[in-house]
Structure 1
Amino acid sequence: MPDDLSPGYWLFLLDWLIRLAALAWIPVRSAPAAARSWLLLVGFVPLLGLPLYLVLGHPWLARIRRERQARASQLIRERQVGLGELRWTPPESGPVPDVARLAERLGDFMPMHGNEIVLLDDYDASIAALVADIDSAREEVHLLYYLMFDDEIGRSIADALARAVARGVRCRLLLDAVGAKPGLRAFAKPLRKAGVEVHAMLSGGLAWRSLSRMDLRNHRKLALIDRHCGYIGSQNLADAAFVPDRPNRELVARVHGPVVRQIAALFASDWFIETGEILTLDTSIDSVAGDMAAQVLPSGPAYPFENARNVVVALVQRARRKVVLATPYFVPDDMTLGALRVAALSGVEVQLILSLSNNQRLTRWAQRSYYDELLQAGVRIALYRPHFLHAKHLSVDDDIALIGSINLDIRSFALNAEAGLLCYDRSVVARLHAIEADYLADAEILQLSGWRGRPRWRRSVEGIARLADSLI
């Protein structure tokens, strides 16, 4: 070998060593779709692709977080053993039994009867109800949110917590370290001084035990007041117009009854994972509030399976007449995409409701790349015009509703901690159908012929963006 090899030779050799190492390593550690995206990136720019993959390529959590999640799941299952009188047994026919069993096996929580569920579709009214409930609290308030901004709504929540603590109420606030950075910066210190226990979720740090993949986020939106009232949905603690020119439209479920204990347990799980403190949960049953059946569905990288994705696919597969899905972000994996196509081709009316406006440009381009094949299969696609439709929900026939923080994208399925509420009540589903109809009344309905008339350059951009579906 010559002694005077140029730096270019060594760079060329390094490039190919990286490519070959990636080809041997990445497919073993990643799902096939994600592996293809990463191999493409590494193949084009090895010196950039490899560091990015090492940081973002695998949804890994530190062992201590996985162990705490496993311990929390075990405690949840053990404490439900004594609550057999609250277990709801669905009728054997229809899609409900399969979905309820699957959700329990994946997310630990059993279906429970005796609940009252009210869907809140008005942004300001939902926040006003939450503030009023905090002001009526006598024992404790627990809030877990992805976003909290230093704006009018953020301040109203912070002020309500301060008032509650002054009355002797125990208040805890969990906020995502990245999404709620403005709220943490503005409110953490004064709230702690007032007596509120405030913690940031997934903040990382130099200690190895606290590390995780840097872009994993806790995307849940939960509120718990005195363990008799709970909130779960898509709405954050921020003004509706935090997306410029397109105020958010959200959907939140306000619940009373035994399922509130599941919201309490999910909050306690996240509190334990972040702080190591085990909260004492009251499992006594004195809160039967109605006759509705429901169960909480948690999902996230700390669980062995992709809970949200698996339940969404099961719901689509079990629809007999109609399935409606509303989401602001639609970048599905192959399993979800296939389920939608097969359902539509089987004669099920599949209605997808998306937002015409979107605050994430790459996601907007990527999701448009799916429209052609879905329209061709018979999926109906509507683009809601007036607001940024940030609500996330799904209905199956007249039997099941899923409401929560779960988007129909790979990030939500694999990388984010999410929470949904499965409702097995026809009156809740009917209310959700009315909300869906309101969306459709002011939406642009896509037609296959018209969609195929878009410029070729747009198709190319959409296709390129789709290659990054596992990276978005």
Structure 2
Amino acid sequence: MTAGVFLYTFYELSSIVIRIVMLCYIPQRHSPTTAMSWLLVIYFWPWPGFLLYIAFGSTALPRERIERHEALLRTLTADRATFRRILDDESHWLPEELVRFGALGKKLGDMCITTGNSFVLIDREEEFLKSLCADIDGAKESVHLLYYIFALDSMTERLFASLEGAAARGVECRLLVDALGAKPFLKKDASRLRTAGVRVEKALPQGLLRRTATTARYDLRNHRKIAVIDGRIGYTGSHNVTEPSYGGKAGGRLWKDLSFRLTGPVVLQLQGVFMEDWYVETRELLPTERVFPRPERTGRAILQTVPSGPSYPLQNYQRLVVAALHGAKKRVVITTPYLIPDDELLHALETAALGDVRVQLVIPERSDQFLVGSAAKAYFDVLLDMGVEIYLFQDHILHSKTMTVDHSLAFLGTSNFDIRSFALNFELNLVLYGTDETSAIRMAQERYIAESRRLTAEEWSRRPRALRVVHGVTKLFSPLL
């Protein structure tokens, strides 16, 4: 037998073995939709598909990361005074029709309803950085930042200077960035901040086929965006720390974001999420008496933090969104840069629309990611048939992640409305309860709709056949995107 014949025989026999073994293994560990996508890849490309599954197939976290998460919860529970500041429930302030929903949010995200908050919505990168820098310049105790993308450029130079100035004043500055999203910063510019006295650490460090103590998968990322100053001022939303064209990534188009500047008790919940991520990555337990000051009531907003990610046993944010859709009575508006719904979200959208709820989706007309944008378009047919209104945001990349339900419930945060955000990434979202809170988000959504054009079913039915094929093929892989 020649070497060529031997290799061919080995490849064919091993391919059959891979198909059979994975057919038995994968369906036990994934939803039917995800399992079918993986099995399809492995059936046509056994060895490449098998290697891809080894690298990207499992969402399970290493035991050490789970143990660190549980250890921190035990520490906070033992410190009852601190624990009450973060997790004491104030759901009695909710309207009666939202009490059960608030309880669901607490059970899914381990964070209670907080009252006495105030917030300012920020929709421009310049304004976001100006406000954040001003708060860092006034910091007295600590500055804690957690971002997926963190870059040095002409617009963020001032933020670097503010961090350097804060560290020089003796303020404890900690910066945690995603190892993949902030990779250029970690290679080139992190040393500048470290030299100034800023603690810089990376979240989820990982090689393509290398496990670490905190992650087992290369594309499992920390997508959160959090800033907490002195435990009293917080920021979260869709803004990353970079100029709005992301270095010309989308041909000069700008990212359109929406974030909160927050004060009040909810800031301690953001601090708690940062504290957990910092502890998991560094094993440094921050002193609770310093990072959790007694909260000050600064307004009347009712807010709830919902962290999500693989460390939670359920796709908790997805379940909360689906529950809100099932409870909708009149109108739902969703804005997201990436729309790849799983079966539960798709059915909830369809059910709401069929129940005479006006459902409006606002997404970019041109995505910055071809595969994700193409897969999203594959769902347009069924959504339009069910009466969902689809608006295509013009000229730029709509990166704001929001949802409003009727006039008393709203969501804003870092999570896209796609399978990756629901099941894989570590995300952070806020739930807003009440008419004033919801109307603030709805006003921003109305501006997005005004800058969009509505896609009709008639127009969509006229798209070229080649596009139909492309959309259909990419849809098959949507659970993997």
TM-score (norm 2): 0.93
1:308 aligns with 2:317: yes
Alignment deviations for residues 130-162 of structure 1 (CA, whole Å, 9 cap, x no partner)? 111111111110000000123123322221100
Decide whether the 8 Å contact of 1:153 with 1:237 is kept in 2.
Answer: no
Count of residue pairs brought into register by the alignment: 468
**Which secondary structure does the structure 2 equivalent of 1:217 belong to?**
coil
- CA separation in 2, counterparts of 1:308 and 1:85? 21
CA contact (8 A) 1:76 1:109 kept: no
Q: Mean alpha-carbon deviation: is it higher for 154-163 or for 291-300?
A: 154-163
1:128 corresponds in structure 2 to 130
Note the alpha carbon deviations across 1:281-319, whole angstroms, 9 max, x for none.
244534111111111110011111111111111111111
Point out 4+ residue stretches in structure 1 off by more than 6 angstroms.
82-86
Task: Tell me how far apart the structure 2 counterparts of residues 207 and 45 of structure 1 sit (CA, whole Å).
Answer: 24
Q: Contact between 2:94 and 2:433, CA under 8 Å: does it hold in 1?
A: no
Distance (whole Å) between structure 2 residues aligned to residue 298 and residue 83 of structure 1? 13
Question: Superposed, which structure 2 residues align to 1:264-303 within 5 Å?
Answer: 264-282=271-289, 283-303=292-312
Evaluate the alpha carbon distance shift between residue 8 and residue 303 of structure 1 in structure 2; reply closer, same or farther with a 3 A threshold: same
Equivalent in 171, 179, 182 of residue 181 of structure 2: 179
Q: 1:47 aligns to what?
A: 47
**Equivalent pair of 2:85/2:268 in contact (CA under 8 Å):** no
- Distance in 2 (CA, whole Å) between partners of 1:89 and 1:274 is 36
In the aligned structure 2, how far is the partner of 1:74 from the partner of 1:120?
36
Specify the code of the residue in structure 2 equivalent to 1:59: T
User: Letter of the aligned partner of 2:373 in structure 1?
Assistant: R
Q: SS of the counterpart of 1:219?
A: coil
Partner of 1:230: 234
| Unpaired stretches in structure 1, ≥5 consecutive residues | none
Q: Secondary structure at the match of 2:426?
A: strand
Q: Which runs of 5+ in 2 are unaligned?
A: none
Higher mean alpha-carbon deviation, 276-285 vs 459-468, is at 276-285
SS of residue paired to 1:24? helix
- Counterpart Cα distance in 2 of 1:59 and 1:263: 24
For 2:25 and 2:88, locate their aligned partners in 1 and report how far apart those are by CA, in whole Å.
50
- What do residues 175-206 of structure 1 show as CA deviations (whole Å, max 9, x unaligned)? 00010112222321121111111100001366
Q: Distance in 1 between matches of 2:146 and 2:85?
A: 27
- The amino acid across from 1:309 in the alignment is Q
Q: What is the root-mean-square deviation of aligned Cα atoms in Å?
A: 1.8
In structure 2, do the counterparts of structure 1 residues 108 and 84 end up closer, same or farther at CA, with 3 Å as the change threshold? closer
Q: Match of 2:317, as an amino acid? A: A
Residues 22-80 of structure 1: CA deviation (Å, up to 9, x unaligned)? 10011112221111000000000101111111111111221111122233345556543
Residues 396-415 of structure 1 aligned to structure 2 (within 5 Å): 396-415=405-424
Q: 2:467 corresponds to which letter in structure 1?
A: R
The TM-score with structure 1 as length reference comes to 0.95
- Mapping of residues 45-444 of structure 1, within 5 Å: 45-75=45-75, 79-81=82-84, 87-91=90-94, 93-94=96-97, 96-204=98-206, 208-242=212-246, 243=249, 244-282=251-289, 283-444=292-453
Partner SS for 2:91: coil
Conserved in 1, the CA contact under 8 Å of 2:126 and 2:155? no
Q: Cα 1:400–1:432, aligned 2, differ >3 Å: closer, same or farther?
A: same
Paired residues of 2:231 and 2:293 also in contact (CA < 8 A): no
Contact 1:150 1:186 in 2 (8 A): no
Please say if residues 65 and 215 of structure 2, whose CA atoms lie closer than 8 Å, have aligned partners that are also in contact.
no
Alpha carbons of 1:433 and 1:21: their partners in 2 closer, same or farther (altered >3 Å)? same
Distance in 2, matches of 1:195 and 1:208, equals 27
Judged with a 3 Å threshold, the aligned counterparts in structure 2 of structure 1 residues 312 and 73 are, in CA distance, closer, same or farther, namely farther
Q: Which amino acid aligns with 2:51?
A: P
Q: Percent identity?
A: 38
